Amino acid sequence: MKPLPVIALTGSDGSGKSTLATSLVARLRTVAPVEQLYLGQSSGKIGDWIGTLPVIGPRFKAYLVRKSDKVHDQPGKPPGNVTALAIYLLSRWRAFKFRRLLAMARRGTLVVTDRFPQAEKPGFSIDGPQLAKTEGGNWWVRMLRQREHRLYEWMATHVPLLVIRLNVDVETAHARKPDHKIASLREKIAAIPHLHFNGAAILDLDGRDAADHVLESSMRAVTAALQVAGA
């Protein structure tokens, strides 16, 4: 399959993805139609929105956070029916945004994404299927797990033109994102370098370098990738 006109930025929280995405889009808009798209599952933003609902909002948000943390901290234990459904719907939301990405690509738009779904390793924290981190469960949970995995397998068949992977150590990541759990950051930092994104071209950069240096290195790689794609 021909690579999508997509520049996918990956890396741990605190690696500089958002800063680089904004800068890349600003530079690329001078030479081509380009859009920026966030491809995370957006559970934090959805949780914040739920928290604003009157009366039940704060309690329901706290409930979802506890359930999400339980799945992350106890992956060997199958989730309950409601938790499994909530996780599956978050994956469906990610797939909805991915279809928006495909529509942009069909229009000839170059898309810069913050994160990109993969089916190699489970876990929302590294953009994989979350229910695949768990085992067992009743027929409902098993069905949702299978459907979620097929969803990620479908998304992963689409290869981005270039993956820019920002590598960073856990101390730097936590200094930039002090509200994140160190254990979670450490898990992401250990797993992300081993993702291959279905054979996509990958540029590894040091997220601790100056933002200008990271941007210039990225622009050179993007320019080269676009030239090869247009050849």
Report the C-alpha gap between 19 and 201 in whole angstroms: 21
Report the C-alpha gap between 187 and 34 in whole angstroms: 32
Contact indicator for 183, 149 with CB cutoff of 8 Å: no
pLDDT of residue 230: 78
Per-residue confidence band for 75, with pLDDT thresholds at 50, 70 and 90: low
**DSSP code at position 207:** T
Report the C-alpha gap between 191 and 181 in whole angstroms: 16
Prediction pTM value: 0.87
Nearest to 137 by CA among 85, 68, 184: 85
pLDDT of residue 71: 59
Per-residue confidence band for 67, with pLDDT thresholds at 50, 70 and 90: low
Tokens 């071209």, residue located: 201
At the second CATH level, the architecture of 4-40+88-230 is 3-Layer(aba) Sandwich (3.40)
pLDDT of residue 69: 58
Q: Strands 202-206 and 110-114: what pairing?
A: unpaired
pLDDT of residue 59: 60
Convert the pLDDT of each residue in 192-227 to its tens digit: 999 999 999 999 999 999 999 999 999 999 999 999
- 211 CB-near residues (< 8 Å, 6+ apart): 16, 19, 20, 23
Give 6's strand partners: 111
Backbone φ and ψ of 196, nearest 5°: -115, -15
Convert the pLDDT of each residue in 23-43 to its tens digit: 999 999 988 899 999 998 755
Convert the pLDDT of each residue in 120-158 to its tens digit: 999 988 999 999 999 899 999 999 999 999 999 999 999
Per-residue confidence band for 229, with pLDDT thresholds at 50, 70 and 90: confident
Contact indicator for 20, 215 with CB cutoff of 8 Å: yes
Report the C-alpha gap between 9 and 82 in whole angstroms: 32
Rounded mean pLDDT, 48-58: 46
